[in-house]
């Protein structure tokens, strides 16, 4: 009984971890979130979102950690039920699906025609190949929505290799679109939900377009197990800025946030007038302007008083000088 209860609690914990991937993007909460990434528009423990973000960007939650959690959950179900299997893919998981059974039913009918008789190795292969296509298209397509609102968006793609899954982590790609004008140049701005969600034609075209922005020479093979190679590229009319960040599994946010901040602090992303893409004016803070004004007034007053005191001293010197 104790072992069964432990398995149920483990299953619930893994399921909640995987539910964190429902939303394609997660607001940055602070410098060290670990596995505490939150789902927007939800109440309770998973719905807590801090009001002040350190970085004005949205990061994708399609991470290898959730793939591993899915694999562990699948194996747990195999040990319990033998032939039953859970088909988890993030693009089909919706917030309205509150129960585990609803999610399993929706995924199995959508991707596998209701097939629930599948061994773990076959499932892992299908999970891997489906993720590399579906998540890639869905994440980038949703990023265009944020770009349309002139919000900076970091796009993350996880490249999980079939042959080594799940003991080897792939290479992640981040792209930052300054605004919708740049993101829409690829010619697929008028995409529909059904188009990017279900068709290889659009997914392949989207992947090819995004790949043109990425300088492939900067990508590296990630080290096994917990080591990641994160490649972040900011795309603008002035060119592209790329930073690399190697991160450990449990210190993703803590080690990666400085690299993202470096993009925002780079000369090509901060101008005194306005950005070439979004035309956002740079405003000097009120307290800074006030401080400069007071300092200038004090300096002028000091110089004026010195100029008036100098003739007075000269007259006094002449008045008391000895005659002859």
Cis peptide before 321 (omega within 30 of 0): no
What is the pLDDT at residue 203? 39
Across 78-82, 87-91, 145-149, 314-318, least confident range: 87-91
pLDDT band for 303, please (50, 70, 90 cuts).
confident
pLDDT at 262 over 60: yes
* pTM attached to this predicted model: 0.31
**Per residue in 194-232, pLDDT tens?**
333 333 443 344 344 444 433 333 223 322 323 345 556
CA distance to 31, 142, 222, per residue, from 246 (Å): 16, 26, 9
Residue 25: both structure tokens together: 């993007």
DSSP letters for 90-118: GGG--TT--SHHHHHHHHHHHHHTT----
CA distance to 44, 165, 203, 250, 319, per residue, from 224 (Å): 35, 10, 28, 14, 91
Q: How far apart are CA 189 and CA 180, in angstroms?
A: 9
Residue 255: both structure tokens together: 């080690």
Residues found in the chain: 324
pLDDT at 235 over 70: no
pLDDT band for 293, please (50, 70, 90 cuts).
confident
pLDDT band for 299, please (50, 70, 90 cuts).
confident
**Per residue in 86-126, pLDDT tens?**
333 333 333 344 444 554 555 555 545 555 555 555 555 55
Across 112-126, 143-157, 213-227, 243-257, least confident range: 213-227
């Amino acid at each position: 009984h104790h072992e069964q209860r432990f398995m149920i609690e483990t299953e619930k914990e893994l399921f909640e971890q995987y539910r964190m991937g429902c939303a394609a993007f997660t607001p940055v909460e602070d410098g060290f979130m670990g596995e505490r990434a939150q789902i927007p528009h939800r109440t309770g423990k998973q719905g807590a979102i801090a009001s002040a973000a350190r970085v004005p960007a949205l990061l994708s939650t399609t991470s290898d950690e959730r793939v591993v959690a899915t694999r562990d959950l699948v194996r747990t179900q195999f040990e319990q039920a033998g032939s039953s299997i859970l088909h988890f893919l993030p693009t089909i998981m919706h917030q309205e699906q509150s129960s585990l059974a609803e999610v399993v039913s929706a995924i199995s009918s959508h991707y596998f025609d209701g097939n629930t008789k599948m061994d773990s190795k076959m499932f892992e292969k299908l999970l891997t190949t489906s993720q590399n296509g579906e998540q890639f298209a869905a994440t980038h397509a949703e990023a265009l929505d944020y770009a349309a609102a002139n919000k900076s968006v970091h796009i993350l793609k996880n490249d999980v290799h079939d042959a080594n899954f799940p003991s080897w982590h792939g290479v992640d790609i981040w792209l930052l679109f300054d605004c919708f004008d740049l993101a829409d140049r690829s010619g697929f701005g008028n995409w529909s939900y059904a188009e990017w969600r279900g068709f290889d034609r659009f997914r392949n075209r989207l992947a090819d377009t995004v790949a043109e922005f990425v300088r492939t020479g900067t990508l590296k093979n990630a080290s096994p197990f917990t080591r990641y190679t994160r490649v972040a590229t900011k795309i603008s009319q002035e060119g592209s800025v790329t930073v690399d960040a190697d991160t450990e599994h449990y210190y993703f946010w803590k080690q990666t946030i400085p690299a993202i901040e470096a993009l925002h602090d780079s000369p090509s992303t901060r101008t005194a007038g306005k950005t070439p893409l979004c035309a956002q004016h740079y405003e000097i803070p009120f307290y800074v302007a006030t401080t400069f004004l007071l300092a200038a007034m004090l300096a002028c007053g000091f110089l004026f008083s010195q100029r008036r005191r100098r003739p007075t001293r000269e007259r006094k010197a002449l008045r008391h000088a000895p005659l002859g």
